[in-house]
Structure 1
């Protein structure tokens, strides 16, 4: 580049050997702009500033630096963001340093000094902090907006990690209603609730139904280019993940739920499963993992929110009570849906009940070795729980013990207070009963009998395991105490072989209807109290049942258990 004369500043020319055509064009545009600006200036100081900038633009060193900057900027637009090869640069530095210590070579000494310098250590620490972030291996990037309020998003959709979004229709618009944790969309951070989707890989989705959009996405794999209109509402989200553990008290099958937002993203579970709820932002549909899936960190699944599940179960119960003749067709019928909408519009028509079971918040608890949890065996009469309790008390008297019951009757000749019974006055018994100290109690032949919580604590404080056989109505009482019971349901087998032996005690003749009645009673107990059970043993063989019982009891010493949240917090 050469300057012809001083007058050439007003009409500069460039030598193409030093400056490429595009750089030359940009510099000429800048010079023309300065000359146009100069015409409108009158003060000497401003004119001197324009002259100084003009001379700078015509300087060879500046033009070369400008061309270099432009080349680097253009190349950086084409490059993908670099991904770290490791998040343990500091550890590698320490390993290299330990190897170099044994070397006496000059290069090793120099490298040791460099690796130990504060600047390099700070650089590696900064590198590891950034590398530890959850980078998506596939390049997720945002292309510059194509207009006000729009954004072009590029994502990689594969079969292993679903996109993880649900959509809804707002007139002709397709709106993102939810971004599910663990999916490609959530990891990228490029899509948000409330954004409107205009196109997917050039295919317009405006005016299409939710099912149409689902079909379009299902047929696409690999790179996705999504044109969106940004949500007008600024949503403040917290990056702090709040985790709640719940035990499911009902079984959920998404394929039978006509109201789930996206069946493919829903999470099925069974009664008794522990779920890790990671998002309750939508009160109707929570996001959760199953307990066994938590370590693998899959895509989160949608489950009904507690209030939503209570509401629709209450609606279902209300409608069922009004339509007893159509109970079998009610859930999927159009009539049901109309009644459901009417009830949702007027919540006063819905009568909630405490017997609608949804979720129970739980926490992990590991029992202390010096304070073992009491073990409660429960089952219908003649299912074998009493025999199992007596067997353990006989086999391991140093480990297991039974709580001594209280009674108001007088002791017999061979009985000792505190061994067979705790003999107390009726006034004392009734006082403890009023104070809520009895787990269960009853009256027989004008005498009161009961199991006092203090008797159970006495066993626990001695270091032994208290074995109890209780009635179902007593389970809620003992769970509401500070005793932290472990409740095991003893279920009779479906094809019992030993049931006739148990049912013929006392000279009574066994009948087939007795077996059916026992099994019906067991089903009734499971339906009514199953949410309170920690484990179930099917008592098909006494020896095997004792083995299973001991195995469960031993597990309490070695593994943490899920217990009601209120017990530990």
Structure 2
């Protein structure tokens, strides 16, 4: 059982092969090794400082006493415990550096630190080699598994990078700082020592007196005092230093502002360089919520030049019904900041548009004013028009939804981009007044591309005819089942003809979509709300007629000779459909020529496969 001395400290080592470190004599300073018990033996080395012979003798005596006491105890566990406690004590001593301030152990008077301390770090390769060596020694499965996990960790790139950073920090933290002088009057103290030693006849005193009188020693002491005087002189505290410290210790939130003020500028009686220290208030405010961009579809036209309420007409943003707007700020609930879709590069500043609630209030007030003027009209004419509308027979109903809900004031609808999957095509819905060509366009698509387009199989309560095939021509069901499906909201639209019910169900459209084909639908406007509230994600195209004269020419080619009032009714119906249901339309085609309209329709359908489209955000939630 042996005891090793590390850096002048006495520590116990339970290893029978531990080596004792010989303390250096004053004549021959020698190196010794300082290491923790769980680190490699070559982590670092340092030089033992020179000490007086009396102190060394006392150290050797203490060393012999401890060694003798340990041998008498003869208990390995107590030795291990004592050694462990001693090493922990050494590890807790804060490092100090400098040739003028060595640290002594208060218990045994042994130097703990020296200016020659260096640190040698352990490299990753050495760690891997040690772990592999341990892996060969340990044979139990649990230890093998633990070593394998550690090896995986050490071989990880992130761990190796962190290990290198740790080594760099370790070297930096243990790097010896330059010595700092304790006094600046070493020459004066040397003269006092000389005066004390002058009458002495002791050999050692005479030798020390001669040494201190030597010219080289006198020059060394003079140089020491000159340097120490400069090092120990306190740095003058200036206003610049105070402001610099305020900026450093106050953090980034503290700002220093300097103003060169002339005498002719009225600012009290101050002039010259004025320095302001800007310190943030202690009353912390919660950070403002980050504005998120929302995309909306406009359901009304807006022209800021006709709006007397816009704060700045030059900054107002005009748009039309159907435009996509990118709203970047809603901080002001009355006036939002937005860009038109596609105009971000050409529009350097965001424009002002009415906020949703503000616009709803204005529209509600406008409707109230118009309703107040309604009694001034001829009651007889209004009742006649109302009764005429009631007598008109409508084949299809859409779950009893009116064409337009007067209580709903349309302003904006939040939108998101959607790209249809390749195997799940959006149904194409063609909407338009009669005699505008939507039926002809649908039939041409069906005939030209049979493998791509299909129609939904309708339901009916009438009996099957001999030439009809169930599931291909119609779904034949009982009237009771049909009415039950109506109550369950399964039909997009339905109606009665010659005491038989007919209808297009949501499931029949979904069957076409699941087959990978594009479902083509011709629907009434009453059906659009039900269709958009489903999960079918329809793409609705409005087929509009051309001018009245062009419409007359197109119908004449088909052998039709419409009356002028019939043409005016088609134009009026078009305007009514756009006004009441235009917010459902994704796009519009003007059918001035059937061939050109067909090519435009095909282009729009193909575009769904290549470009994402704006759809209501509620569809994607």
Q: Which residue of 2 aligns with 1:473?
A: 526
Counterpart among 326, 329, 337 of residue 276 in structure 1: 326
Q: Which residue of 2 aligns with 1:420?
A: 473
CA distances 1:489-526 after superposition (whole Å, capped 9, x unpaired):
00000145354554797x86422222111111111111
Q: Which residue of 2 aligns with 1:371?
A: 424
Q: 1:234 to 1:282 in 2, by over 3 A?
A: farther
Q: Residue 352 of structure 2 aligns to a residue in which SS?
A: strand
Q: Residue 598 of structure 2 aligns to a residue in which SS?
A: helix
1:361 partnered with 2:411? no
Q: Which residue of 1 aligns with 2:353?
A: 303
* Aligned mates of 2:556, 2:561 — CA distance in 1: 8
* Aligned mates of 1:309, 1:142 — CA distance in 2: 47
How far off its partner does 1:322 sit? 2.3
Q: Which residue of 2 aligns with 1:461?
A: 514
Q: Residue 497 of structure 1 aligns to a residue in which SS?
A: helix
Q: 1:67 to 1:258 in 2, by over 3 A?
A: closer
Q: 1:432 to 1:324 in 2, by over 3 A?
A: closer
CA distances 1:266-317 after superposition (whole Å, capped 9, x unpaired):
2211111111112222211112221113466732222111111101110121
* Aligned mates of 1:546, 1:69 — CA distance in 2: 81
* Aligned mates of 1:270, 1:144 — CA distance in 2: 53
Counterpart among 596, 604, 609 of residue 552 in structure 1: 604
Equivalences, count: 341
How far off its partner does 1:320 sit? 2.7
TM-score by length of structure 2 reads 0.50
CA distances 1:413-470 after superposition (whole Å, capped 9, x unpaired):
2111122211111111111111111000000000000101111011000100000000
Equivalence map 1:28-47=2 (5 Å): none
Which sections of structure 2, spanning at least 5 residues, go unmatched?
A: 1-228, 261-265, 267-279, 378-404
Q: 1:514 to 1:500 in 2, by over 3 A?
A: farther
Q: Which residue of 1 aligns with 2:590?
A: 538
Does structure 2 retain, via aligned residues, the 8 Å contact 1:314–1:353?
no
How far off its partner does 1:60 sit? 9.3
1:431 partnered with 2:484? yes
1:564 partnered with 2:605? no
Does structure 2 retain, via aligned residues, the 8 Å contact 1:388–1:546?
yes
Q: 1:310 to 1:72 in 2, by over 3 A?
A: closer
Q: Residue 489 of structure 1 aligns to a residue in which SS?
A: strand
How far off its partner does 1:236 sit? 4.6
Equivalence map 1:212-227=2 (5 Å): none
Does structure 2 retain, via aligned residues, the 8 Å contact 1:383–1:539?
yes
Does structure 2 retain, via aligned residues, the 8 Å contact 1:379–1:522?
yes
CA distances 1:11-61 after superposition (whole Å, capped 9, x unpaired):
xxxxxxxxxxxxxxxxxxxxxxxxxxxxxxxxxxxxxxxxxxxxx99x999
Q: 1:405 to 1:435 in 2, by over 3 A?
A: same
Q: 1:568 to 1:385 in 2, by over 3 A?
A: same
Q: 1:300 to 1:479 in 2, by over 3 A?
A: same
CA distances 1:357-405 after superposition (whole Å, capped 9, x unpaired):
1001111111001000000000001110000000000000000001111
* Aligned mates of 2:469, 2:439 — CA distance in 1: 23
Does structure 1 retain, via aligned residues, the 8 Å contact 2:552–2:561?
no
What is the CA RMSD across the aligned residues, in angstroms?
3.7
* Aligned mates of 1:398, 1:412 — CA distance in 2: 27
Does structure 2 retain, via aligned residues, the 8 Å contact 1:500–1:510?
no
Does structure 2 retain, via aligned residues, the 8 Å contact 1:382–1:503?
no
Larger radius of gyration: 2
